[in-house]
């Protein structure tokens, strides 16, 4: 019974202890929940950890040869937490002076070491756990700062907070600036950066962050460690842009705009066979100078003017309504369509000419009269032919902002078709195209009628591996018959050979193209006339490799004609591209190797027989050796062969050294005990003591030439 009572007592004691412990927990819970709620919530806020999204590494944009057009460079916001638990008062005060001196000397010299020391003290005393040390620091800056006193203890023991923020950089400055584009907060995405944002952007990663309260009560998330999780870097884009051709194009355009004091301009170079855009430059005048502020190549529709006459000529040829040598009326370059007078840009005094000649001199009246006469009864036929050339369709270039073409139709009431629409449309008015759309048409002509889709991206890569390749796309296998294309090429070559672009002709290579001069504000009365100069073409004419269009808006200095303003820019681009691209130049050994001729063979060269024979053998020049066993010999050219003949050097008479090189001549003469003086350069042409005289230790002067 006594044992049983002892057991019960123990049970009661344990049970009472449990109840007491439960009551303590209960009352502590009530205390925390009701009376210390704010205190512990603040603590929780202060030490709250959570994964947060961080910026990912954005992919690179590369030129076709691998040069960086746009890349992300690492920059860092460096901050300091002076209240991190590992920094005791002793550690802080021990390192304060040296840290302040390093920061004031190497990071921010607007502070003296004393003022920097005060700043760090105030931060610790005020509870600032997010002190800015340097914003947008480079990697070199970061490595230097990591070595400073206290900071060299690292993130946890030294309070150093490093936030990586990749920054987009363009190594080549404004080169292809608008085409490369950008992605910015609060702005519409532009160019390749915008179009391929998902590809370049990759997947944002997560980093463990700690939430703290700033001095002003704002919430601040600071990195809890240096690791990022689930981060997928962006992929790289390899473009079709050739950095060398881009530089050539941009510099030529800039010089042309400056020379002519123009408002803006664009120049595009396309590879004929594939449609790959090798260069695209857009420059406009700004208060800060010339800049790529807008992509005029795809986003600024224009009335093309005379460069559109190629489409009109091809329509006539394709419908078999004209032959190149048919005679048409020009009326000395003036004609009235209803109440509107049309004039040719340059006076030529011709009442009539062949259609070919009218195109070469860019006669507005000649082309417009012919189109009006041939299509007046069926104007829709002309418009449909333009559609057959795909001139009513956008190119579909990858980047955003392309404006669709505008081609009027006789049956559409909204198009305000009138009696003068057809003739004016035939010379490039009352319709609009972008420069890229017009170049695509010219490129198709250069490509024997096959129209290619212009494209800017050829590959998507990651870590050097190709993930996606973009191949050339054919829009239309044949925009016109072979006969029409061949005749169109004849017309474009004639413009350069005999027409408005004849002063641009070069003897180094052949090119073909069409000049254009358009009035851009003809509908606004009382306003000073503005013009647009253009040139579209391709080169080399026999086997086109590149097509180019140049458009210059509102040239105010000198001429405003396409042949004077845009043509020279085209020529400079083509010249430099031709000289830098050896694959488009004809091989020097393409022709049959001619036989040797007397005038091209080395004649009367005198020297060491063994050296002479070695050189001829090395050059693979056939010869006969008639020199017997002599040491010295002379080359003699006869017909188409060479012979090595002996040159005798007497032992007691002055030798003949004419025709020898200086080294051999001096060797022979000084071995005979003669003194030698020399003037001139080259081979010995004269010697002061004639050959054959007896040697008496004379001094001989040799004249070289």
Please provide the DSSP assignment of 163-226 as one string: EEEEEEE-TTTTTTHHHH-B--TTS--BHHHHHTHHHHH-B-EEEEEEEEE-TTS-EEEEESSS
pLDDT band at 343 (very low <50, low <70, confident <90, very high): very high
**pLDDT at site 175:** 81
pLDDT surpasses 80 at 593: no
Looking at residues 401-415, what average pLDDT do you find?
92
Q: Report, as an integer, the average pLDDT of 522-535.
A: 76
Q: Whole-angstrom Cα distance, residue 265 to residue 283? A: 6
Q: How confident is the model at residue 598 (pLDDT cuts 50, 70, 90)?
A: very low
Report how far Cα 622 is from the mean position of its chain's Cα atoms: 51
Q: Are 436 and 405 in contact (CB under 8 A)?
A: no
Whole-angstrom CA distances from 121 to 129, 131, 145, 172 are: 12, 11, 19, 44
Among candidates 472, 403, 468, which has minimal Cα distance to 196? 468
Cα–Cα distance measured from residue 76 to residue 139, given in angstroms and rounded to the nearest whole number: 7
Q: Which residue has the tokens 């490595």?
A: 143
Pairwise pLDDT comparison (25 vs 96), residue with the higher score: 96
Please list the residues that pair with 591 across neighbouring strands.
none
- The string of pLDDT tens digits covering residues 284-298 is 998 888 888 899 999
The pLDDT of residue 597 is: 45
Exposure letters 82-119 (e unless 16+ CB within 10 A, then b): bbbeebeeeebeebbeebbbbbbeebeeebebeebbeb
Cα separation values, 689 from 294, 634, 657, 680, Å: 80, 21, 11, 17
**What is the model's pLDDT at position 596?**
45
More confident residue, 548 or 703: 548
- Among the ranges given (330-334, 493-497, 523-527, 641-645), the one the predictor scored with the smallest mean pLDDT: 523-527
Task: Provide the pLDDT for residue 73.
Answer: 84
CA 46 from chain center: how many Å? 51
Backbone angles phi, psi at 694, to 5 degrees: -70, 140
- Closest Cα partner for 169 from 60, 28, 63? 60
More reliable by pLDDT, 42 or 248:
248
Mean pLDDT computed over 410-436: 93
Distance, in Å, from the CA atom of 631 to the CA atom of 660, rounded to the nearest integer, reads 14
Lowest mean pLDDT among 214-223, 357-366, 659-668, 676-685: 214-223
Residue 609 pLDDT > 70: no
Do the beta carbons of residue 547 and residue 584 sit within 8 Å?
A: no
Is 693's pLDDT higher than 70?
Answer: yes
pLDDT, tens digit, 9 for 90 and up, residues 61-90: 999 988 888 888 888 889 888 888 888 889
> What mean pLDDT value characterizes the chain?
85
Q: Which residue has the tokens 């296998």?
A: 477
Domains (range + CATH), the chain: 51-239 (3.90.1310.10), 245-584 (3.40.710.10), 595-648 (no CATH), 650-705 (3.30.10.20)
Cβ–Cβ under 8 Å, residues 701 and 677: yes
For residue 635, what pLDDT band results from cuts at 50, 70 and 90?
Answer: low
Return the ∠ at Cα 348 (arms to 504 and 559), rounded to 5°.
45
599 pLDDT band, cuts 50/70/90, is very low
- pLDDT for the residue numbered 274: 97
Q: pLDDT grade, residue 41 (50/70/90)?
A: low
> Is pLDDT of 639 > 60?
no
Over the stretch 157-189, which tens digit does the pLDDT of each residue have? 888 888 888 888 888 887 888 888 888 877 788
Reported in sequence order, the residue ranges of 567-611 that DSSP labels E, i.e. its strands, are: 606-608
Cis upstream peptide for 638 (omega within 30°) = no
E strands present in 307-372: 327-329, 334-337, 340-343, 352-354
If you average pLDDT over residues 357-381, what whole number do you get? 95
Comparison of pLDDT for 666 and 321, the residue scoring more? 321
Beta bridge partners of 518: 532
Q: How far is CA 264 from CA 497, 532, 552, 562, in A?
A: 29, 10, 6, 14
Mean pLDDT of 394-415: 93
pLDDT of residue 630: 63
Between 158 and 281, name the one with better pLDDT: 281
Is the per-residue pLDDT at 601 higher than 60?
no
CA distance 346 to 333: 8
Residues 320, 374: Cα–Cα separation, whole Å: 10
Count CB-CB contacts under 10 A for residue 348: 17
Q: What is the mean pLDDT of residues 454-475?
A: 93
How many other β-carbons are positioned within 10 Å of the β-carbon of residue 621?
14
Q: What is the Cα gyration radius of the chain? A: 42
């Amino acid at each position: 019974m006594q044992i049983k009572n002892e057991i019960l007592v123990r049970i009661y004691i344990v049970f009472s202890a449990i109840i007491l412990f439960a009551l303590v927990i209960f009352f502590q819970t009530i205390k925390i929940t009701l009376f210390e709620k704010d205190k512990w919530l603040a603590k929780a806020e202060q030490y709250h950890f959570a994964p947060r999204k961080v910026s990912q590494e954005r992919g690179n944009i590369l030129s076709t040869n691998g040069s960086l057009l746009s890349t992300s460079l690492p920059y860092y916001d460096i901050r300091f937490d002076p209240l991190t638990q590992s920094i005791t008062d002793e550690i802080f005060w021990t390192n304060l002076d040296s840290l302040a001196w390093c920061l004031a000397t190497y990071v921010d010299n607007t502070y003296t070491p004393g003022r920097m020391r005060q700043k760090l003290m105030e931060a610790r005393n005020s509870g600032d756990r997010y002190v800015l040390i340097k914003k947008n620091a480079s990697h070199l800056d970061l490595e230097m700062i990591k070595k400073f006193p206290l900071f060299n203890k690292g993130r946890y023991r030294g309070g150093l907070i490093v936030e990586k923020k990749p920054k987009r950089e363009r190594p080549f400055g404004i080169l292809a600036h608008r085409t490369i584009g950008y992605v910015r907060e609060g702005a519409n995405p532009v160019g390749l950066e915008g179009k391929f944002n998902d590809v370049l952007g990759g997947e944002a990663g997560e980093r463990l962050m700690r939430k703290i309260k700033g001095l002003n009560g704002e919430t601040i998330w600071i990195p809890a460690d240096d690791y990022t999780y689930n981060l997928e870097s962006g992929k790289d884009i390899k473009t079709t842009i050739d950095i060398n051709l881009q530089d050539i194009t941009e510099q030529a355009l800039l010089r042309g705009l400056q020379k002519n004091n123009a408002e803006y301009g664009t120049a595009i170079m396309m590879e004929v066979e594939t449609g790959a855009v090798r260069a695209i430059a857009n420059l406009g005048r700004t208060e800060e100078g010339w800049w790529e502020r807008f992509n005029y190549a795809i986003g600024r529709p224009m009335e093309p003017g005379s460069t559109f006459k190629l489409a009109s000529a091809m329509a006539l040829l394709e419908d078999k309504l004209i032959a190149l040598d048919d005679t048409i009326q020009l009326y000395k370059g003036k004609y009235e369509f209803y109440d509107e007078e049309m004039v040719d840009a340059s006076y030529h005094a011709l009442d009539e000419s062949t259609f070919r000649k009218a195109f070469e001199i860019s006669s507005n009246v000649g082309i417009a009269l012919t189109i009006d006469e041939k299509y007046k009864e069926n104007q829709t036929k002309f418009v449909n032919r333009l559609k057959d050339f795909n001139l009513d369709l956008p190119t579909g270039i990858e980047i955003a902002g392309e404006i669709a073409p505008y081609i009027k139709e006789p049956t559409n009431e909204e198009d305000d078709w009138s009696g003068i629409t057809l003739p004016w449309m035939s010379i490039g008015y009352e319709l609009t195209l972008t420069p890229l759309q017009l170049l695509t048409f010219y490129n198709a002509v250069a490509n024997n009628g096959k129209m290619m889709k212009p494209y800017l991206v050829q590959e998507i890569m990651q870590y050097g591996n190709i993930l996606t390749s973009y191949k050339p796309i054919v829009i239309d296998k044949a925009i016109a018959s072979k006969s029409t294309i061949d005749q169109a090429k004849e017309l474009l070559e004639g413009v350069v050979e005999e027409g408005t672009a004849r002063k641009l002709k070069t003897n180094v290579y052949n090119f073909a193209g069409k000049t254009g001069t358009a009035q851009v504000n003809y509908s606004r009365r009382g306003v000073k006339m503005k013009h647009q100069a253009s040139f579209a073409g391709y080169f080399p004419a026999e086997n086109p490799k590149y097509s180019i269009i140049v458009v210059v808006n509102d040239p105010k200095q000198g001429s405003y004609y396409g042949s004077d303003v845009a043509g020279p820019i085209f020529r400079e681009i083509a010249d430099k591209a031709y000289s830098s691209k050896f694959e488009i130049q004809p091989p020097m050994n393409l022709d049959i190797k001619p036989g040797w001729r007397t005038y091209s063979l080395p004649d009367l060269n005198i020297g060491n027989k063994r050296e002479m024979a070695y050189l001829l053998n090395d050059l693979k020049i056939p010869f006969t050796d008639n020199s017997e066993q002599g040491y010295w010999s002379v080359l003699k050219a006869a017909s188409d062969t060479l012979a090595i003949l002996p040159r005798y050097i007497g032992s007691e008479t002055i030798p003949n050294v004419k025709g020898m090189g200086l080294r051999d001549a001096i060797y022979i003469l000084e071995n005979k005990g003669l003194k030698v003086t020399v003037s001139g350069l080259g081979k010995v042409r004269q010697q002061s003591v004639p050959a054959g005289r007896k040697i008496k230790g004379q001094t001989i002067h040799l004249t070289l030439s």
